[in-house]
A and B are shown apart, each in its own frame.
Chain A
Amino acid sequence: MDFSYSYLVLVLPLVTFLFLGLMGTRLSRKTAGVVGTSMMGITAVIAYAISLAYFFGTDQGQIIEGIRQQIVAWDLTWLEFSEKLVIKIGFLLDPISAMMLIVITTVSFLVHLYSLGYMQDHNHEYEKGLQRYYAFLSLFSLSMLGLVVAPNIFQMYIFWELVGVSSYLLIGFYYTLPAAVSASKKAFIVTRFADLGFLVGILILSYFTQTFDFITLTSNPTAAIETAGGATFMGCSVMAWALTLIFMGGAGKSAMFPLHIWLPDAMEGPTPVSALIHAATMVVAGVFLIARMFPLYCMEEGTMTVITVIGAFTAFYAAAVACVQSDIKRVLAFSTISQIAFMVTSLGVARPELHEGVGYMASMFHLFTHAMFKALLFLCAGAIIHAVHSNEMSAMGGLRKYMPICNIAFLIGCLAIAGIPPFAGFFSKDEILVAAFEQHTFWGIWMMLVAGMTAFYMFRLYYKIFWWNNPDYGHHTPHDAPMTMSLPLIILSVVSIVAGLIPFGEFVSWNREAYHIHLNYTVAISSVAVAVVAILLATKLYLKENEAPAKMAKSFKGLWTAAYNRFYMDELYQFITHKIIFERVSRPLAWFDRQIVDGSLNSLANLANSASFAIRKLQSGSIQSYVYVYLIGVLLLAAITVICLI
C-alpha cells in the first residue's frame, strides 16, 4: 500500500473547515462540535496509519540499508514562477514529519474533544459561534499538517502563513474583548515581521540554489551552499544570511527572544487553543523548520552560533520571567518559551560529528515529549480556570481537594517538565544537556541551570494552585471537569509518563539512521539533583502560605519588578511601534503626503488662480490700454525674432 491516501490528512480538515465555515450558525453548536471532533478523529486515525506504516513498514522502501528514506507521497504543481522555481503542494514523509503527524493529530484531537466540554457553557456571552471555533481549529490543523509534510520550503511558507492566521483567528476568538483583539493583532504582526525574514531568506536561498525542494537542498548541502559561489554580504556569506533570516522566521513562530512578546499575550485566547497552538504544535514550527533544513544549517557555523546563543538566552530569560508571574497561563507561556528555547539550543549545539548529532535527536525528542506534557499542563490550566473563573494565582489555592484528577495530572506534567525520571521530560531534556555538554561545558552548565529554574517555577505554580492556602470559594465550589475534559487529561498524563521510554533515537535522527540512546549518567544524575533541589526550594517557599516569597520579592525589588514586567520588553516594543513607527514615521509621512506632495499640487492650482487674478488688470476695459498692449505685442514679436536670429 503506497502513501497516496495521505492526501486525506489534508483534505479532511479542509473539508471540515469549509463545511463548518460555510454552514456557520445554521448548524447547532453541538453538531458543529461533534462534526469537528469526529473528523479530527478520523484524520488522526489516518495520520497514525501513515506514521506507523512509515516507521514500521518496509514495503514502500521506507528504509533502505538502515537509512529511513524520504518519501514524497504525492506532488502537485501549484504555481510555476519560472522553469526551475516551481511551488508544489506535496506530501513528504520522513521521520520528523511522521513524528509530527502523530503529535499534531493527537493533541489536536484531544483538544477538540476537550473543547466540547470547555467551550460549552463557559463564558458563553463571548462564545457565540462555537461553529466558528471548530472551523478555525480545523483550519489550524490543516495548516499545521500541511506545514510539517511540506516537501518544499515554499509550501512550508504557505502553510506557515496559514498557521499564523489561524492562530490570529483563534487568539481573537473572544473578539468582543479588547485584550483578546489586541493580543491577536500583536501575535499576527510580530510573527508576520519574523516571516518577512523567512521570506527574504527563501528568496536568497532559492535565487542561488534555484530550487525550493527540501530533498534537493538537504541531500547535498555542500553543493547547495556552493551555488552562492562564496558571495558575501557585509562580511558574511550570503548563505549564512539566508539561513539566519529563515531562522528569524522560525524564531518568530517559536517565540525566541526578542520576538517572543506575542506568546504570553496570546494566552487571551481560549485555553484549549493555547494548549494546541501555543504550547504543543505551532510554536514548535520554528524548531521543526531548523530541523528540516538541518544539513544546510550545519554548513554555516556562524548561523548555528546565533541559534545557540539566542536559544540559550531565551531559555534563561523566559525561565526567569516565569518565576515571578502571577497569571497561571502566563507562567505556562513563559515556560513554553523556555522549553522551546531548549529545543532550539539543542539544534544549535548539534553537529553531525558531535556524538552522532545527538542534539538533533534530542531536540525532536523534546519536541515530542514537550508537546504532550505541555498540552497536559495547559488543559489542566483550562480545567482550573474553568473551575475558578480566573487566571490569577491569587484566586486559587488548595484546589487539590476539589479537583483530584486535575491535581494528579498537573503534578505529572510538572514532574515531566522538571525532568524527574521516569517521566517523559527527563529523557529528552537529558539528551539536550548531553548535546550541550558535547558542544561546550559552558552551554551544558547554563542549560542545566535553566532546567533547575524550570523545576522551581513549575512547582511554584503547582503549589500556588493546589496547596498554598485555602481561600473561601463561597457558593461556587470548584469541582473536577466533565468527562470530555478529563479524558484528554488522563490520556495525556499517561503519555507524559511513558513517552520518555520510547526509543526515540531509533526512529528519528539527523541522518535518519537509527541512533541508540544511552543515558549519560553524569549528566543525568547531576541534572536530576539540580531539579530536586529546585523542587525542594519551591516546596519550602510555596507549600504553605507564608511571608517568605513576598520578603524575597521585596529584597530583590528591582530584579523582581523587572522580571514581573518581563524585563520591559513589551514596553520597548510599544515604544518602537507607537512612538517611532506610528508617531515618527507614519504620521509625518501622512502629513508629508497631505501637505507637501498634495500641497505642491494644490499650490500649482492656486498659482494658476492667482496668476489669473494678477493678469486681470490687462483686461482693463479701456480701448487705449488695449492698444498699448497691442503695440507692445508687435514690438515683442519683432524683438523675439530679432533676438532669435542673432
Chain B
Amino acid sequence: MLGELINPYYLQVSSFILINIILAVSIYITLGTGQLSLGHAGFMSIGAYTTAILTLNYNMPLVLGVIIAAIVTGIVGTLIGIPALRLQGVYLAIATLGFGEVVRVLFINWDGLTNGAIGLSGIPHLGREIFNLSKSMGIEPDMFGLKNNQFISLAVFFVLLIITISVIWFFVRQNNSRIGRAFSAIKMDEEASEAMGINITYYKVLAFGQGAMLAGFAGALYAHLMAYISPSDFDYHRAVEILIFSIFGGSEVIWGSIFGAVFLSAMPEFLRFINEYRFMIYGALLVLMMAFRPQGIIDVNMMNRFKRLMPKKRGEKKHGTGNKEDQ
C-alpha cells in the first residue's frame, strides 16, 4: 500500500538536499561572522575521508566514524581558523580556496591511505547498514509493505531528516543568544565589537571551527550515503556550490541558506528536460539574482514580514532580543 507511494528516486534527491542543507548551514555560520570561506569542500573531504578510513580500515562502527570525523574536522577548522583571523574578505576567500585545493592534492597524492584519485569504495552504506541492523533485529521491510530498496531509501531519508532538523535547531537557538548577537556584531564591525567587549578572536574561531565541523560532518554523511568517495568529489566546484547555496538563498538568516540549498539542489532535477542548457540557465540565474536581489532570496525583512503574518506564534526574533515565549 504504502509501498506504491514511496519512490526511492524522490527519497534519493531529498537525501542529497538534506546533506546540502547541512552544508549550507555550515557556510552560513562562517559567513555569520563576516568570514568568507571557499574551503568548505576541503573540510567536507576531511570528514568524508576520516570516517571512510576509520570504518574501512579499522572496522569502526559507522556512527562512531561520523562523530570522530566531525570532531577531527572541527579541530582542523579551528587550527585553520586561527591564522585565518589575520585575513579579511577576499584574501580569506582565496586563501581558503587554496586550503581546499591543497587538501585535495594531498588526498590525491597520499596514495597509501586514500588510494589516490581512484578513491575509496566499499564504505559502509548508511541505508544498507540500517537494513542489516533491522534485519538482525527481526524487522523486515515487507512488514511495512516495503521493498528492500524502498526501506533503505526511506531509512536514510529519515535519519538524515532528524539530523538536519537537529542541526537547524541547534544553530537557531545559538543565534538567538548572546553568541548569535556577538556573531552579527562582528560581521558588521569587528573593531567596534572588540571595543564593546567582544572577544573577536574567540568568536571568529568558534564560527570558523563550527562551520568546518559541520561541513566535515556533512562530508562524513555523504561518504556513507555514496559508499564511495574520491578527491574529485570535493573540488572547487563543490566549494562554490556550497557558498552559492547560502548566498543565493540569503546569508542574512539561516532560513535563507536552507532555502538556497533546497532550491538549488532541486532545480537541476526540474530542469532535466532542458538538459543542455541547464548550467547556462544556472549561471544566468545567479547573475540575475544578484542584480535584483543581492541579499539573497530570503532576507531579514522578509523574515520579519513572515513573522508578522503569523501573529499567534510570534517566531523567534533575531538575536534573541524578542519576546517572552523565547525565554
Are A and B genuine complex partners?
Answer: no
Instruction: Please report A residues at the B interface, Cβ cutoff 8 Å.
Output: none
